[in-house]
A and B are shown apart, each in its own frame.
Chain A
Amino acid sequence: MYRYDQYDQAMVDARVEEFRDQTRRRIAGKMTDDQFKPLRLKNGLYLQLHAYMLRVAIPYGTFNSRQMRKLAHIARTYDRGYGHFTTRQNIQYNWIKLEQAPDILAELATVEMHAIQTSGESIRNISADHYAGAAADEIMDPRPWAETIRQMTTFHPEFSYLPRKFKIAVIASGAGRAPARGPVGARRVVKSGGGEMGFEV
């Protein structure tokens, strides 16, 4: 799996501190809800029917034990002891407090995770076949392609203010395990009659 380099870590850390300042200003009344709403949504924080909800990206559904333990720690410390994994391989915490949201993002950053582009009209978390790399019916591992798309689209200004959200899934099998049919921008790795790899989009 991809590991952050110093530039990745610096960008994510800076984003956390930026959101901490924005949250502080909102709570202090120096920013209206209309001004703050697009900023919190850029960091995956929704206000839903009963409480705030934070959606955390898990790129192509792959994480290590350190990250899993951090997700559990966040659920126990900042939520009600659980989160919900989504069909698009994010995790959502449904009982988040606004004043604690920057601390949660800081905790996520320590294990190379974030909630950026999990909301709004952007290219969202790249999902993949959850059996990727271990499926007998796949013609290749789709995760390197998912990672390439993730790097191309994360923080890219052209993909952050789109007319509508784009949800990309990559799968290299004919099975329906990844949401590669419905979402806009879905990709299925296929092999031509001549043996060349390509994408069915």
Chain B
Amino acid sequence: MRILTGNDLKTGAVIWWTGQDWSIHIEDAADVGDQAQADAVLATEDAACRVNGGYAIDAEKDDDGNLRPAHIKDRIRALGPTVRPDLTLNPADPDAGNWVI
């Protein structure tokens, strides 16, 4: 599946396209279909200054139904800093970094 990501223009936070809006949680991300649809959404959202540097990526759902980006860069973006588990989006899970690998 293809999902959209980028950074919030005002805050810089990593965000994911839900189909209606942007969320900081990758589990909210929606499949945007093909690249043409992705480009259309990104053009609209970029023009509205809601996203900075948006792009489409490949992702898949694992056995538990959790979204997992194909590239490690985006898995790190989805989780947060791997050197500081307390600053990730799963601060209570000391093994959250294993998800990236």
Tally inter-chain residue pairs, CB-CB below 8 A.
43
Cβ-neighbour of A51 out of B9, B11, B76 (below 8 A): B11
Let me know if A47 and B49 touch, CB within 8 A.
no
Given contacts A27-B49, A33-B52, contact A97 B80 (CB under 8 A): no
Judge whether B10 and A29 touch: CB under 8 Å: no
A96 CA to B11 CA, complexed, in Å: 7
Contact (A28, B11) CB under 8 Å given A49-B76, A49-B77:
no
Q: Evaluate contact between B12 and A98: CB separation under 8 angstroms.
A: yes
How many angstroms from the CA of A33 to the CA of B9 in the assembled complex? 9
What is the total number of residues of chain B having a CB less than 8 Å from a CB of chain A? 19
CB < 8 Å neighbour of B12 from A26, A80, A97: A97
Is chain A's binding surface mostly helix, strand, loop or mixed?
mixed
Given contacts A33-B52, A47-B52, A47-B53, contact A27 B10 (CB under 8 A): yes
Bound: A33/B76 CA distance, A: 23
Kindly identify which residue among B12, B14, B48, B53 contacts A33, using a CB–CB cutoff of 8 Å. Answer: B53
Q: For the complex, what is the distance from the CA of A149 to the CA of B49, rounded to whole Å?
A: 40
A51→B49 CA distance, assembly (Å)? 16
Residue B41 at the A interface, CB < 8 A? Answer: no
List residues of chain B with CB within 8 A of the CB of A29: 47-49
Whether a CB of chain A sits under 8 angstroms from the CB of B94 is no
Once the chains are docked, how many angstroms separate the CA of A124 from the CA of B49?
A: 31
For residue A3, CB closer than 8 A to chain B, the reply is no
Whether, in the assembled complex, A21 has its beta carbon less than 8 Å from a beta carbon of chain B, the answer is no
Per the CB 8 Å criterion, the residue count for chain A at the interface is 16
Q: Which residue, B9, B13, B81, has most C-beta atoms of chain A within 10 A?
A: B9
Interface string of A49-64 (1 = CB under 8 A from B): 1111000000000000
B7 at the interface (CB under 8 A from A): yes
B33-47 contacts to A (CB < 8 Å): 46-47
Is A50's CB under 8 angstroms from B52's CB?
Answer: no
8 Å CB contacts to B: which residues of A3-58? 26-29, 33, 47, 49-52
Min CB distance A20 to B, Å, is 14
Query: For the complex, what is the distance from the CA of A28 to the CA of B81, rounded to whole Å?
Result: 30
Query: Can you add 11 more A-B contacts, CB < 8 Å, to A27-B10, A50-B14, A80-B87?
Result: A26-B49, A29-B48, A29-B49, A47-B53, A49-B14, A49-B73, A49-B76, A50-B77, A51-B11, A51-B13, A98-B12
Listed A/B pairs (10) with beta-carbon separation below 8 Å: A33-B52, A47-B7, A47-B53, A50-B13, A50-B77, A51-B7, A51-B11, A51-B12, A97-B10, A98-B12
A-B pairs, 10 with minimum CB distance: A52-B12, A51-B12, A29-B49, A97-B11, A99-B10, A98-B10, A33-B52, A49-B77, A50-B14, A47-B7
- Measured CB to CB, the residues of B under 8 A from A are 7, 9-14, 46-49, 52-53, 73, 76-77, 80-81, 87
